Amino acid sequence: METSRYYQCKYCFQDFEPKRRRVQKFCSNSCRSKAHHAKKQAKDLKSKTSTLPSKNFEFPKIKKEPKKSSETITAAGIGNVEE
């Protein structure tokens, strides 16, 4: 006499009879796919919220250097190197 063992789907939480040899986590491919997308979306949301700066965060000040005029720029290939 064969006893049927029912599993519970990890996505929709319905009981189902497994159709494959190994332990199944999901009742169908659509539940498996939906669970994967939900897990991926939750991971993306978590990473986005953790990388945002806090309200008290101040960006570091960038020192601006004055632009060099074309007379002070030298290039050995052009031949305008002063010795």
Which is nearest to 25 in space by CA: 39, 7, 40? 7
Is 62 part of any domain?
no
Mind listing the pLDDT tens digit for each residue in 33-47?
A: 999 999 998 888 877
Is 33 part of any domain?
yes
Mind listing the pLDDT tens digit for each residue in 55-75?
A: 776 767 777 777 666 566 666
Is 23 part of any domain?
yes
Is 55 part of any domain?
no
Is 81 part of any domain?
no
Is 2 part of any domain?
no
Q: Is the pTM of this model over 0.75?
A: no
Domain count for the chain, please give it.
1
Tell me the residue range of the domain where 24 lies. 7-49
DSSP for the chain reads: -PPP--EE-TTT--EE---SSS--S-SSHHHHHHHHHHHHHHHHHHHHHHHSPPTT--PPPPPPPPPPPTTT---TTTT----
Is 56 part of any domain?
no
CA atoms within 13 A on the CB side of 45: 6
